[in-house]
Structure 1
């Protein structure tokens, strides 16, 4: 017969066992909710927006002209990084789009320029060019593109991999590289615009064998044709006080015009300027991009189920207009006023088709831009132009004098000098010594502020300044042997229009706006880098980071 104490012990054991069973049942019941509690509730759609050649200060300069439903809506209800930068050079479209989506600089992802000298083949290559593919939607070679030169994954790749390829990723841009690189290696589709006689959206055999029916229908419509109209200012041009005069010598002139002034009569200029290709250097190119992106949103049913989809949109006309007219032009101001209207239209459709609280948007740029050097010089600011031909001639003369042959020089591009290593071996020259002597020579040239060698890039860990910026852009397999930086406000470019590509702050500082589900309203003046965007979005989505990521999540922006 058990003692009272024994009965109490057994009663306690049974009670504990019962509690354990209840706890296990409770845990199983809660398990489906755990991911949302731990990782947050991911949006049904992410929209990544890259505005080509957008300076950060365009937000403040043109603020009074923006409506309430575009930039102001995203900043007012979203998160603004007020000190956001590219942490590498060269600052151009291909590397910019690759870095936004990989979370890595060119040193890692390998896209070191829009074009670069390929040391193995001795030929120039294009960042998205792929001769092994065929064009889809056109008989020209304009569709022969893929992301094969990008060496790591993108956040869009990781989203697809995370969901066993059930997520949809669609990328859209006037420029092929503005669609191909954001779409990543696994995109369902990437589309870009072919101007010329038809003005169609096309793709590559990398993604598909033929255009979907909805794209064919869009191409057959008057979607592009309706923009063959005069480009008038969206508002009274006399209120455009944030930009310079309408007629200046710092702006390019379209063939057929006598001055770079409004209105730009596109129907009269059509035949002499590439027909539909003319839309690129007007804000109508951005409007057409929005039209096509909204059609993709609808026809691909993006954001319609619980598995997150991704729509990547790159607005390219801002870059074309900036290059043509310059950052201080009325045309640039009007283009951003109209872009604000296109953004409002995009957000309205996202509200309607996906739901106000069911999508997340980020908006950034692929690089900034500098003022037209000729304009700055006329204002008394130190600025000017680097003569590329004279630079090359001076360098070849030095190579002849110092090493007995100018043939050591293979290429100069992206502010990098490429040398012939086979010839150096044949001449029994030490590459490190050759690099150092050439660097010392170039540093003596007019308007060169800093010069570094490949040996320095490989052997020294720079943590700040222009050297660190160059190092992040230096890829050991692909970059040149000597890297040089021009004085600020000096460019190797035409005397009209703006350009970019340097490590100087006017090319590196760009906006970053995060908006929508999972985003905490606010702002920061803490420095953030372009490589922080991909890990921030990956953290929001609860997916693996892209394989080359060097950036960090912007934690204060996430709920």
Structure 2
């Protein structure tokens, strides 16, 4: 009798499952969430302080890959967002850093700068920041997953990118986006680019006119939970944290309204958890006003939370301020998920959450706890190197720019090969330098196979530096407070990867995946083409038993 019931019941289950899949062959909406500077461990170190409906809901009701990494250098915001949504690395998508040295102009190039476009603001907004460059995705090479969705549906799908940072809104949305909106730190409004539109949609004007940014900038930031709940972070009164102008300590509470005048005005919102709250409010407004997930084709929205990065840079990865920011982001995510379930429908949207990079400890903190560490200063290193080059080659050879991983070299002093070899020799004498690589064909034989692979994915001939420098673990650029990132070590590469919603079965995996596999996975889930340079390997666990 039991066998008969099973034989009858199993086909019925398969029938209902197959029928449901046929009724809903694709999700109504893709929601791509990027949390700026989020280490994978934050899912677990702060776990006890999360609600049941934010991070925990995604972890338990969705699929959690616990071993997701970046596979290039430097690990920064621009390259991170470009990699997630193009499915490839800087070698192909061309966003080699947030800024790089442009050899033709002899100037620095910002990753989304575009002098051919202009800012689009509210008609009443006259206080925008005139010191920053207008922006667009034109520096991004190849297509994104959102571009391919647009092309596949003959542009019927809507695609919108949102963030507090311009690069984090623009790069995920791709070349064919309907809109990208980001926060203007001078006016407290969300703005866009003439690349997308001549005027802001009326609902963005209405959102700006409500002055939610004024409400939040006048908030007193104090811990959301009782002090005993923050036991996995350092004490509030810890060293190596940013002290805002007008304060004598980096301790709660922070009266943002009093601090704003001497600490960047509305930009202070980005240095608090309330920037994430503002962005969540914008996201729900955009989804509702644009009717995302209500059409015949799949729509796409990217939401990049930037305040986590600013707070991390200010206070460090073990600060009470950072933990409180994640606790509050958890509540923002819970609000977003509840809204999506009500507006789009539970099971009708596919959401993924990852980060554009992770973060490392402050070297001063590492020294205090007896972990090997050290610091270097790119400016002073550049001066020393240029002095040596002048002695060796005269005025004809110099380093035009050096950041944390790359050096750009200008020379008309004979053989560039000779100059690069000399730079390699000089750099090897600096304390903290582990290896020096010349990826331009001068020195193609690299003994470290892992670094060979890493540089192959990092180096873009037109935009990357002539020399790459790798430092020992724990070594970072000298800075006064907080955390930073950009290395190829696990501290900076290991990020979360959560999938939730449409056709995603609960589960987890410890298999290593890289962030450039996200776009390919989405392509296969949606049955649309890969982005032009995307790698082809997908996260197989998401397809098992379907």
TM (norm. structure 2) is 0.92
Residue 51 in structure 1 maps to residue 41 in structure 2: no
Q: What's the counterpart of residue 104 of structure 1?
A: 88
Shift of 1:390: 2.7
Residue deviations 1:411-465, cap 9 Å, x none? 21242111114x1xxx332x33332232122122111111100235884589942
Q: 1:442 to 1:34 in 2, by over 3 A?
A: farther
Alpha-carbon distance in structure 2 between the residues aligned to 1:457 and 1:515: 46
CA contact (8 A) 1:136 1:143 kept: no
Alpha-carbon distance in structure 2 between the residues aligned to 1:388 and 1:218: 42
Q: What's the counterpart of residue 343 of structure 2?
A: 353
Q: 1:83 to 1:146 in 2, by over 3 A?
A: same
Q: What's the counterpart of residue 417 of structure 2?
A: 432
Shift of 1:276: 1.6
Alpha-carbon distance in structure 1 between the residues aligned to 2:381 and 2:133: 36
Q: What's the counterpart of residue 433 of structure 2?
A: 448
Shift of 1:176: 0.3
Q: What's the counterpart of residue 270 of structure 1?
A: 260
Q: 1:455 to 1:194 in 2, by over 3 A?
A: closer
Matches for 1:32-71 after TM superposition, within 5 Å? 41-71=25-55
Q: What's the counterpart of residue 79 of structure 2?
A: 95
Q: 1:210 to 1:503 in 2, by over 3 A?
A: same
Higher gyration radius (CA) = 1
Q: What's the counterpart of residue 336 of structure 1?
A: 326
Residue deviations 1:498-524, cap 9 Å, x none? 000111110011010011112232111
Alpha-carbon distance in structure 1 between the residues aligned to 2:397 and 2:208: 50
Q: What's the counterpart of residue 396 of structure 1?
A: 386
Shift of 1:143: 7.0
CA contact (8 A) 2:397 2:419 kept: no
Match for residue 555 of structure 1 among 540, 543, 546? 540
Alpha-carbon distance in structure 1 between the residues aligned to 2:425 and 2:515: 32
Q: What's the counterpart of residue 470 of structure 2?
A: 485
CA contact (8 A) 1:199 1:276 kept: yes
Q: Secondary structure at the match of 2:64?
A: strand
Alpha-carbon distance in structure 2 between the residues aligned to 1:162 and 1:457: 42
Matches for 1:402-421 after TM superposition, within 5 Å? 402-405=392-395, 407-421=397-411
Q: What's the counterpart of residue 494 of structure 1?
A: 479
Alpha-carbon distance in structure 2 between the residues aligned to 1:207 and 1:458: 43
Q: 1:474 to 1:437 in 2, by over 3 A?
A: same
Q: Secondary structure at the match of 2:220?
A: coil
Match for residue 177 of structure 1 among 167, 173, 179? 167
Q: 1:277 to 1:309 in 2, by over 3 A?
A: same
Q: Over aligned residues, Cα RMSD in angstroms?
A: 2.0
Worse overlay, 468-477 or 526-535: 468-477
Q: Secondary structure at the match of 1:455?
A: coil
Q: Secondary structure at the match of 1:253?
A: coil
Matches for 1:222-301 after TM superposition, within 5 Å? 222-227=211-216, 228-301=218-291
- Structure 2 unaligned segments of length 5 or more: list them: 1-17
Alpha-carbon distance in structure 2 between the residues aligned to 1:170 and 1:463: 41
Residue deviations 1:359-390, cap 9 Å, x none? 00000000000011101101111112112233
Give the paired residue count. Answer: 520
Q: 1:302 to 1:462 in 2, by over 3 A?
A: farther
Shift of 1:247: 1.0
Q: What's the counterpart of residue 525 of structure 1?
A: 510
CA contact (8 A) 2:437 2:443 kept: no
Shift of 1:335: 0.3
